[in-house]
Structure 1
Amino acid sequence: MNQVIELEGVAKRYDTAGAPALGPLTLSVAKGEALAVTGPSGSGKSTLLNLIAGLDKPTEGSVLVAGRRIDQLSEHALAKFRREHIGIAFQFFNLLDDLTVTDNIQLPAQLTGTSRRAAAARAGELMEMLGIQKHARAYPGRLSGGERQRVGVARALINRPELLLADEPTGALDSASGAEVRKLLIDLHRGGQTIVLVTHDLALAEACASRTIHLVDGHLALDTYAQAVR
């Protein structure tokens, strides 16, 4: 099975005199897997996500995503790589309030040079798939939390990334909106999308992930596979 993520001996230190915030850690994620990363605050979850996203670089070890050694790329090359290969759904959505839903979703595609017509077609396809097409001309401030997270996921998927990273995607939502996003992640995984989900919510991990790792003090304490995703 093709590996979308390959981390080999990865460690991250913010203080050279102290223990590493993460690792050393060796981890691979196969194409089509939905991996949940759990653990207490300070366990290294966000550090791991940032290293996979290329938002931070390891102190030691190598990080390959979609076959590229991203820890060796320049900042400019990293930004281009993320736009083309990685989608990120944030806890607090990070939508632009002065753009419509459609324009928010289209923006990453236009940044890669996709024509406005092609970007609009892809955005329309995603809005229909995610059940938000009726909000196409609305502004984010008029949407519920669950709807805004769906817009964030659509934006993350606009460039058909090999990898979707979801950072506490239900952390800022009420229970009803959280249930909507949970179903969305399950559907995306069933459709073959490779996902890495960072969450404190063990119920979310159990519902959405085919595999769960648990970090403690920057180290891998548990690595389990689900029998099936419900």
Structure 2
Amino acid sequence: MVHVIELADVARQYDAAGVPALGPVDLAVETGEALAVTGPSGSGKSTLLNLIAGLDRPSSGSVTVAGERIDRLSERALARFRRDRIGMIFQFFNLLDDLTVTDNVLLPAQLVGRAGRQATARAAELLETLGIAKHARAYPGRLSGGERQRVAVARALINRPDLLLADEPTGALDSASGAEVRELLTELHRSGQTVLLVTHDTALAEACAGRRLHLVDGRVAADRRVVAPAVAR
């Protein structure tokens, strides 16, 4: 059993005199697993995601991702690790409007020194697989919300990350585009991609996650596995 994520007695407290925003929490996520993190606003979902992404550091405990204790890394090493090993999808896409679709997808590869023919071929393959190859030379502002989220997914996958993190990936989309993204994330999980997503979208959690973690007041209120579509190995 190989764990992509391992949290041991992790807590995050922003106010020394207040209640922790998260924890203590123990969590292990296996390679190829899809985990949906749910809970009310202020329950600690975003804090958990930020700790796993290395965007925040725990007040106590250890955070291990893809075999690396990321809470011990320097800021520079952490930034490189995040670019190289983690793919991230955001609610509002975070695309650069002055770059074409292809250039947006290639950006993470360029940041880790992988720009070249292989990266370009990988970007073209992803755009084709995600059904947006015809927009390769377009600018994000000309695309629909669902299409922009597909570009964001391609960008997140360009470096073949160990872990794909999705923060409310359908939150800014209409119902039709949201359904498209749910189908896309489900297919990614079926292909063997390890996925952790934070969502208020019950349909998304039910469609593409075989495990659901529910947080309340920074603590794990429920952690259950459900029957999910078979995953390719």
Normalised to the residue count of structure 1, the TM-score between the two structures is 0.99
Could you tell me which amino acid in structure 1 is paired with residue 190 of structure 2? Answer: R
Instruction: Report the more deviating stretch, 109-118 or 189-198.
Output: 109-118
Could you tell me which amino acid in structure 1 is paired with residue 134 of structure 2? Answer: K
> Paired residue for 1:135?
135
- Which runs of structure 2 are paired with 1:77-116 in the superposition (5 Å)? 77-116=77-116
> Paired residue for 1:152?
152
CA–CA separation in structure 1 for the residues paired with 2:44 and 2:128: 36
SS in 2 for 1:48: helix
Could you tell me which amino acid in structure 1 is paired with residue 87 of structure 2? Answer: G
> Paired residue for 1:60?
60
Cα deviation for residue 155 of structure 1 reads: 0.2
1:12 equivalent to 2:17? Answer: no
Could you tell me which amino acid in structure 2 is paired with residue 172 of structure 1? Answer: A
> Paired residue for 2:70?
70
How many residue pairs were aligned? 230
Assess if the C-alpha contact under 8 Å between 2:101 and 2:135 holds in 1: yes
CA–CA separation in structure 1 for the residues paired with 2:208 and 2:145: 19
CA–CA separation in structure 2 for the residues paired with 1:103 and 1:85: 20
SS in 1 for 2:180: helix
CA–CA separation in structure 1 for the residues paired with 2:211 and 2:154: 23
> Paired residue for 1:30?
30
Could you tell me which amino acid in structure 2 is paired with residue 219 of structure 1? Answer: R
Instruction: Report the more deviating stretch, 1-10 or 115-124.
Output: 115-124
Cα deviation for residue 35 of structure 1 reads: 0.2
CA–CA separation in structure 1 for the residues paired with 2:111 and 2:148: 21
1:10-30 Cα offsets, whole Å, 9 max, x none, are 000000001100000000000
CA–CA separation in structure 2 for the residues paired with 1:74 and 1:216: 31
CA–CA separation in structure 1 for the residues paired with 2:72 and 2:95: 30
- Tell me how large the CA RMSD over aligned residues is: 0.8
Normalised to the residue count of structure 2, the TM-score between the two structures is 0.97
Cα deviation for residue 116 of structure 1 reads: 2.4
Cα deviation for residue 229 of structure 1 reads: 3.2
1:133-152 Cα offsets, whole Å, 9 max, x none, are 01000000000000000000
SS in 2 for 1:56: coil
SS in 1 for 2:148: helix
SS in 1 for 2:200: coil
CA–CA separation in structure 2 for the residues paired with 1:115 and 1:11: 38
Cα deviation for residue 166 of structure 1 reads: 0.3
Assess if the C-alpha contact under 8 Å between 2:210 and 2:226 holds in 1: yes
- Which runs of structure 2 are paired with 1:152-191 in the superposition (5 Å)? 152-191=152-191
> Paired residue for 1:45?
45
> Paired residue for 1:193?
193
CA–CA separation in structure 1 for the residues paired with 2:37 and 2:137: 35
Could you tell me which amino acid in structure 2 is paired with residue 183 of structure 1? Answer: E
CA–CA separation in structure 2 for the residues paired with 1:119 and 1:210: 31
Could you tell me which amino acid in structure 2 is paired with residue 89 of structure 1? Answer: I
- Unpaired runs of 5+ in structure 2? none
